[in-house]
Amino acid sequence: MIASIRLILPEIFLSGSALFLLGWDAFIQEHLKKWVFWMSFFALAITFFLLIHPPQEGVAFGMLVQDPFSLFFKVLALFSAGFILLISREDKALMGDYAGTYVSLILFSVVGTMFLSSAKDLLMLFLGMELTTIPLFILAGFLRNDLRSSEGAIKFFLVGTLSTGLMLFGISYLYGLTGSTQFKEIYEWFNKTQLGNGDLVLFFLAILFLLAGLGFKLSLVPFHQWTPDTYEGAPTPITAFFSVSREAGVIVVTVRLFSEYLKQNQMGMTSFFALLSILTMTIGNIAALRQNNLKRLLAYSSIAHAGTIFIGLVAGNRLGREGIMLYSLAYFLMSLGAFSVVIYVSRLKNSEDISSIQGLSKENFPLSLMMLFFLLSLSGIPPFLGFWAKFYVFWAAIEAKLFYLVAIALLNAIIAVYYYFRIVHKMFFQEPSYSQPLSSRLERHYGLEFATLLAVSLLLLFGIFPQSLLSWIKGSSVIIP
């Protein structure tokens, strides 16, 4: 038991820190609340230290596995939380009177993501999913006086509770059939048991219900309807956090379950998984073409990227797993940077419409250049990290002889280039909507500026010199059964 507690000590410490910061709002005087930001950063730093010094491997309580694969996504989750806190720092609506509540909800969601990254049991999958999602329900509606925020949060909550019910229904079927909730034991039961027609139908029905729950969190079609409204209504830093928590938590447990245990190719579900990927990419990209709100456009773009990252799971090989890891890191930096620019512009012009970014190069050339870099990386154009992310995922599909899937993904990439470069055209080839230079009217937001600059620097650095990153990912793709 002591060994198990030691393995989950980072999660225990971060949970305690979140509870402490939650109480900070209720019991600490107003003038001391400015320390919330620094205390949260300190908590994340200590959690990171506990994770990597020394890195440990093993299984805690038979339900949580600590291996290089889960460690990669836990580190990604911690860094994502740090970035989100940076871009939220000067936002009075978020880091004002209820800063402790805001920060603690982010930390609780990160704890859920960390548990998801290690889950090897269906019950822990469910608990991690809820711990990740319930704080996001609240954060989506954190701007209580904003009707769009409330509407998005309600839609997110309603669809989320439905998907949770479906997932629990699938888990109950799997437990009834196999007598266990352990991934490994379910896998052994599937391989050793001669399934009759009735059991076979129930088993695949359970898998479909489980996929419905996971598909909601991943924004896979047809479980994606909540995404654009929630992204548009939520505070923009939280919108960026949605994309990261999805990739860093849900995709890893999906890969662990359907790539290492209930392998989709052994179950004969490769074509079904490929169909989910194709529909998600295509519908996300086509819907993005018609959007005039930047947050909604990026929301549909995130749906399309979820379909692309799902290709790594469809491939079902180690290269696909490495591609998913690389894509998760790249998309974290790309989406965070793009949303940071949206925050920067919307704070000035009180608008998130695509017209608000019009003529940005003439108002603030460095900012428009960074947005250009983020869009180029999202498009998969070298020399940015987004190119290597797509290259690895496509390479995995080619190795698995899924040539049709790669061809459709390339066509979708062309569609995505069109709506990304629509933004570029407005920034560089149209006149600004204000005559006064943006830089002279904008209050400095140092946390936001630092996060944006760091994101674009990492995208460019890892894009030009990817060797050390690829080597780290290759070593971190090991999964303990």
Per-residue pLDDT of the chain (481 residues; tens, 9 = 90+): 777 788 888 889 999 998 888 887 777 656 566 778 888 889 999 999 988 877 677 888 888 888 888 888 899 899 988 888 888 877 777 777 777 888 888 999 999 999 988 888 888 888 888 888 888 888 888 877 777 778 878 888 888 888 888 889 989 988 888 888 888 888 888 777 666 666 778 888 888 888 888 888 888 888 877 888 888 878 878 888 877 766 667 888 888 888 777 777 777 788 888 999 999 999 999 999 988 888 889 889 988 998 999 998 898 888 888 889 899 889 989 988 888 888 888 877 777 788 888 888 888 888 889 899 999 999 888 889 989 999 999 999 999 889 999 999 999 999 999 999 999 988 888 877 654 455 445 556 677 888 888 889 999 999 898 888 888 888 877 777 6
Instruction: Give domain status of residue 225, yes or no.
Output: no
Please tell me the predicted confidence (pLDDT) of residue 393: 92
Q: Nearest-CA neighbor of 386 among 429, 359, 417?
A: 417
What are 66's strand-pairing partners?
58
Query: In angstroms, what CA-CA distances link 356 with 252, 292, 320, 349, 452?
Result: 36, 10, 39, 7, 19
Please tell me the predicted confidence (pLDDT) of residue 29: 59
Instruction: Give domain status of residue 356, yes or no.
Output: yes
Interstrand relation of 58-60 and 64-66 (parallel, antiparallel or unpaired) = antiparallel
* Contact partners, residue 238, CB within 8 Å, separation at least 6: 84, 136, 139, 140, 142
- Angle (CA) 256-259-260 rounded to 5° is 65
Q: Nearest-CA neighbor of 360 among 375, 371, 352?
A: 371
Please tell me the predicted confidence (pLDDT) of residue 198: 66
What is the 3-state secondary structure of 197-253? HHHHHHHHHHHHHHHHHHHHHHCCCCCCCHHHHHHHHCCHHHHHHHHHHHHHHHHHH
Q: How would you class 33 by CB atoms within 10 Å of its CB: exposed for 0-12, middle for 13-18, buried for 19 or more? A: middle
Instruction: Give domain status of residue 162, yes or no.
Output: no
Instruction: Give domain status of residue 202, yes or no.
Output: no
Only one residue has tokens 């209820």, namely 98
Q: How many structural domains does the chain have?
A: 1
Q: Say how many residues make up the chain.
A: 481
Instruction: Give domain status of residue 367, yes or no.
Output: yes
Q: pTM above the 0.95 mark?
A: no
Instruction: Give domain status of residue 394, yes or no.
Output: yes
Instruction: Give domain status of residue 12, yes or no.
Output: no
Please tell me the predicted confidence (pLDDT) of residue 279: 93
Please tell me the predicted confidence (pLDDT) of residue 46: 92
Cβ distance 36 to 28 under 8 Å?
no
Q: What is the DSSP string of 295-316?
A: HHHHHHHHHHHHHHHHHHHHH-
Q: Which residues span the domain enclosing 425?
A: 263-481
What is the 3-state secondary structure of 138-149? HHHCCCCCCHHH
Q: Three-class SS of residue 264? A: coil
Instruction: Give domain status of residue 181, yes or no.
Output: no
